[in-house]
Structure 1
Amino acid sequence: MLLSVKALHTWFKHQPEPIKAVDGIDFEIKRGETFCLVGESGSGKSITALSIMRLLPQSGLQKQNGQVLFKSGEGVAVDLTTLKESKMREIRGGRIAMIFQEPMSSLNPVFTIGEQILEAVKLHFPQLSASEAWERVMMALKDVQLPDPETRVSSYPHQLSGGQRQRVMIAMAMACEPDLLIADEPTTALDVTVQREILRLMKALQQRTGMAILFITHDFGVVSEIADRVGVMQQGKLVETGTTDQIIHKPEHVYTQSLIAALPENLARHETHQAVQDQPPLIRLNNLAIHFPVRKGLLRRVVDQVRAVDGVDLEIPRGQILALVGESGSGKTTLGRGILRLTEPTAGQITFDNTDITGMKPAQLRQFRRNMQIIFQDPISSLNPRLSIAAILTEPMKVHGIGENREERIELSRDLLQQVQMEEDALWRYPHEFSGGQRQRIGIARALSLKPSFIVCDEITSALDVSVQAEILKMLLELRRQHNLTLLFITHNIGVVEYVSDRTAVMYQGQIVEQGRTEDIVNNPQNDYTQQLIAAVPRVPL
């Protein structure tokens, strides 16, 4: 056994009761094994990893005890909880390495990636010469298949894509050849194609070096692809452990069963009624283009154009949900904002309900926008932290003359909260007092406050746990039915696309490369890019 965690407790100081982030958990990881820790946000997964690594500030802890037995290279088990800090530093990064969830905040922005990996190598292999240490850095970058490593080694983190930064984090962890790799949600923010490459890479490195992996995630598709065994956490406790097949297909604990049931693959598909299918287009785009100038030099002359949206023809029938899928940077969000004229088009035509809105003046467009709303990807940054929920919901109504007075608008706001399944006392609270899923419900309520006929949903479930995601999707379908809404649903989650949408359009490098009925796109993709995208999706075997 490589790692054995026994009765681990990590409690944080809080009044009146301590927060029991990790509350007496036990698990083991064998050499060469991948153990996945799954659960919703706040269940204690990341705190477990940080407790093993002893990376939590002691000042905020009320209680931390238990055993973390780790067998070093010599095969002698040591309890990491009792080691002196100097000894712990030798193990941390050397024998146990960690990949953090957000590489941009984990990499130092003022050092090149080569310098940062070199620092780790020198710390754990002081006997190496300068040339040998640098050779190990280059080997680590080649192992993670970073494109053009000889050039990239001198790049700074901001010059790399998200997938490339994640590769650098893995290279830094692997450079010291650890016995155990802890990966905390390393693929959450990545596109499915990049995610597949990262997972394959980690598996290949594991097979070559024989290291064990503690993989933290909430994506059961990823779990089914890489895990040997799985542990399910809820409110600081490990409620169930078992083989991957057992946890996914024969879960015993009611919480595990609820997580599996909430996967998009397991939700009942909705059917589009014939009356909805036969509706004419509410939105029609003709050769829409949105280009951004690239300026260089002292005089900031335009030297090129970024073609974010490049000649798109698209129709969204009234009352239908069109899913817009594609990788990061493909132009999905820019297209959604362009339809609403939040980003001005460079060329082409936008028709809304048989009205050309492409050249509408701002004053005219402001009135027209009542019919078109957007729900943003990150609700915390799109809700004003200084306004109460009542103010957030009533302000748009006041601007557009909905409601005779404040009392009537407050009453309408209560109805909106009821529609998104929230208590009416939420009106007098502020955004920071709610969870991510609740904030997203408030964002939906705000979009509904003007009674629009069309809403752009921009990655609104990407940061949510599967159970919260399932609730939001069900609610959205019910609201669509009640209000005859037309939705543009921007996402990269194919499972969500299958559940929620009537039609799907696939975007690549600013262009729509394929569109049609969702069932046809998912089951019989024609375009090469769509085929790659569908094939890259990690799926839970039924």
Structure 2
Amino acid sequence: MPAPLLVVNKLCTYLQNGAETVKAVDGISFTINKGETFCLVGESGSGKSITALSVIRLLPYGIASHPNGQLLFNNQDLLKVDEDELRTIRGSQIAMIFQEPMTSLNPVFTVGDQIMEALQLHHPEMTAEEAEERAIQALDQVQMPNSRERLNSFPHQLSGGQRQRVMIAMALACEPELLIADEPTTALDVTVQAEILRLMRHLQETTGMSMLFITHDFGVVAQMAHQVGVMQHGKLVEVGLVEQVLNRPQHPYTHQLLEAVPENLARHKNPTLTKPLSEAQLIAEPLLQLRHVNVWFPIKKGLFRQVVDYNKAVDDVSLDIVKGQIVALVGESGCGKTTLGRAVLQLEKPSSGSIKMQGNEFVGLSASAMRAWRSKMQIVFQDPQSSLNPRLLIEMTLTEPMKVHGIGSNQEERLELAAKTLERMQLKREHLWRYPHEFSGGQRQRIGLARALVLNPAFIVCDEITSALDVSVQAEILQLLLELRAERDLTLLFITHNIGVVEYLSDQTVVMYKGRIVELGPTTAVCGSPQQDYTKKLLAAVPRLSLGQKAWGAL
């Protein structure tokens, strides 16, 4: 048996909120062996990140405390170590990769400065030249292209995947024994995620480090974990080997989480909600017709800011969307998915081409003429926190659009419609009198849907609306969308990079790459037998729940 590196024994982490004590972590125990990965899974608020921050002792100890438990790292209790000694352990022996690299990296320092600072803090004998060479080696380790040149880049000059590589390089520069990774791939494309996971697995094999890997993606768990711990309300409700937990879960909550994974949801599809369109619907004139749509952004250079080229965000796209269909638009970040969705709604003006709804041309339409169509075409944004006005009550958020478009003869009628729409979103009537910050992420996403639905639209663009949600909340939102489509004969353009969601939800799938459509067709055909190399690459990169012969061998 491998020797234990970290032993968490009956750990309690309590947070003081005024007179109230929140038991964020409540008596959990687990062991991480040397060279192994322990995956901690659970929904938002279950205590996963608080556990990680407790291990590395980065909590605000004015309000946080550990009334009970032990954190034995190499047989040394971290809860009894003073701050000076902790400072030597952090970074050199225990390192952490945070969930959002853009907010974790300092925007005013170059990548090289930030990696070299960590090195010289823990190795004061190291010269600037030696630190620079070690920083380049760290970037080479994480397969950063042009690593020497990238040392002088600022975080905003890098892509999301490159920023995550920098975070990993910074964490690994001092060769820690334990790496804590808090949702390191949540917001990444599937291809970038596959590269990052493969990279972390390779680095673990070559350095022998252990990992505490926090995620809510069971596909990632199947690929990365030796052991799995499932958290709920601050407690570990199930701990075991990955094969045991994923294939033979014992706790009802683990069952619930696994059943909510899109590939498992597909086994329980309601045929009345997912029945194919009739032949009459398919041969009827499409609700939306896109012909040779271009959205080009000029690139200006020189003293006189002359146009030297164009960024072709959407390039010669033609597409038909039939009434009642759910069309999935997939591809990596920067492929033009969101720009195309915004162009359909005329939130981004096309450079050329034709966009028609029910035979009416939108391209070139004035803002006042377009306003009449706004109630028929709506959008639900990726981040409901930033798309809902924090200063407006939900009542105002829902009734104001109705007033603008003349829905309801008076405020009482509009309030009643808003309340009924909220109830259809499985929220309460009294929620009308709350502000957005008083809701969870899943509830805010339901409010975003309600805001679109109060206008009774025929077409809705859903832009990555489940990307940041827990699997159980995601399952509820997807089920709700299918029910709404059946009730209202809605047409949806569903923008996503989650192939599991695509397979469960959509009728048609459109694959975009560098502004162009490279493949389209029925979802069963595109996902079951893709024709294009790029589509095959996307599907191959999706982390699946199936363990295959060995969870460890998937990468």
The answer to whether TM tops 0.5 is yes
2:130 is equivalent to residue 127 of structure 1 = no
Q: Quick one: which amino acid aligns to residue 450 of structure 1? A: L
Which deviations, in whole Å up to 9, do the C-alpha atoms of 1:103-155 show, x marking residues without a partner? 11111112111111111111222233433332211111111000011111111
In structure 1, distance between residues paired with 2:311 and 2:448: 30
Q: Quick one: which amino acid aligns to residue 489 of structure 1? A: F
Deviating more after overlay: 264-273 vs 229-238? 264-273
In structure 1, distance between residues paired with 2:403 and 2:138: 59
Q: Quick one: which amino acid aligns to residue 71 of structure 2? A: V
Aligned residue for 1:444? 449
Shift, 1:437, TM fit: 0.4
Contact 1:10 1:21 in 2 (8 A): yes
In structure 1, distance between residues paired with 2:368 and 2:131: 63
The 5 A counterparts of 1:294-309 are: 294-309=299-314
Q: Quick one: which amino acid aligns to residue 21 of structure 2? A: P
Aligned residue for 1:320? 325
Contact 1:23 1:236 in 2 (8 A): yes
Which deviations, in whole Å up to 9, do the C-alpha atoms of 1:465-497 show, x marking residues without a partner? 000000000001000000000000000000000
The unaligned stretches of length 5 or more in structure 2 are: 548-555
Q: Alignment partner for residue 96 of structure 2, among 60, 80, 98?
A: 98
SS at match of 1:266: helix
Shift, 1:63, TM fit: 4.7
Q: Alignment partner for residue 51 of structure 2, among 28, 48, 51?
A: 48
Q: Quick one: which amino acid aligns to residue 276 of structure 2? A: T
SS at match of 1:288: strand
Contact 1:107 1:157 in 2 (8 A): yes
Q: Quick one: which amino acid aligns to residue 10 of structure 1? A: T
2:533 is equivalent to residue 535 of structure 1 = no
The 5 A counterparts of 1:69-80 are: 69-71=72-74, 77-80=75-78
Aligned residue for 1:74? none
In structure 2, distance between residues paired with 1:279 and 1:196: 41
In structure 2, distance between residues paired with 1:15 and 1:98: 30
Contact 2:462 2:494 in 1 (8 A): yes
2:24 is equivalent to residue 21 of structure 1 = yes
Shift, 1:299, TM fit: 3.2
TM-score, normalised to structure 2, is 0.95
2:147 is equivalent to residue 140 of structure 1 = no
In structure 2, distance between residues paired with 1:109 and 1:462: 25
Contact 2:277 2:324 in 1 (8 A): no
In structure 1, distance between residues paired with 2:365 and 2:264: 44
Aligned residue for 2:416? 411
Describe the shift of the 1:62–1:136 C-alpha distance in structure 2 as closer, same or farther (beyond 3 A).
closer
Q: Quick one: which amino acid aligns to residue 15 of structure 2? A: F
The 5 A counterparts of 1:335-374 are: 335-374=340-379
The 5 A counterparts of 1:41-440 are: 41-61=44-64, 63-71=66-74, 77-267=75-265, 268-269=268-269, 270-274=274-278, 276-440=281-445
Contact 2:288 2:322 in 1 (8 A): yes
Q: Alignment partner for residue 31 of structure 1, among 31, 34, 39?
A: 34
Shift, 1:274, TM fit: 2.4
Q: Quick one: which amino acid aligns to residue 59 of structure 2? A: L
Contact 2:191 2:542 in 1 (8 A): yes
Aligned residue for 1:473? 478
2:5 is equivalent to residue 9 of structure 1 = no
The unaligned stretches of length 5 or more in structure 1 are: 72-76
In structure 1, distance between residues paired with 2:73 and 2:101: 26
In structure 2, distance between residues paired with 1:63 and 1:69: 14
In structure 2, distance between residues paired with 1:131 and 1:387: 54
Aligned residue for 2:552? none
Q: C-alpha root-mean-square deviation of aligned residues, in Å?
A: 1.2
Q: Quick one: which amino acid aligns to residue 12 of structure 1? A: L
Which deviations, in whole Å up to 9, do the C-alpha atoms of 1:153-195 show, x marking residues without a partner? 1111111111011111111111111111000100111110000
In structure 1, distance between residues paired with 2:119 and 2:106: 16
Contact 2:94 2:179 in 1 (8 A): yes
Contact 1:473 1:500 in 2 (8 A): yes
In structure 1, distance between residues paired with 2:67 and 2:145: 43
SS at match of 1:58: coil
In structure 1, distance between residues paired with 2:52 and 2:18: 25
Shift, 1:387, TM fit: 1.1
TM-score, normalised to structure 1, is 0.97
Shift, 1:23, TM fit: 0.9
State the identity %. 62
SS at match of 2:379: strand
Q: Quick one: which amino acid aligns to residue 64 of structure 2? A: L
Which deviations, in whole Å up to 9, do the C-alpha atoms of 1:415-457 show, x marking residues without a partner? 1112111111111111111000001001101101111100000
SS at match of 1:365: helix
Q: Quick one: which amino acid aligns to residue 436 of structure 2? A: P
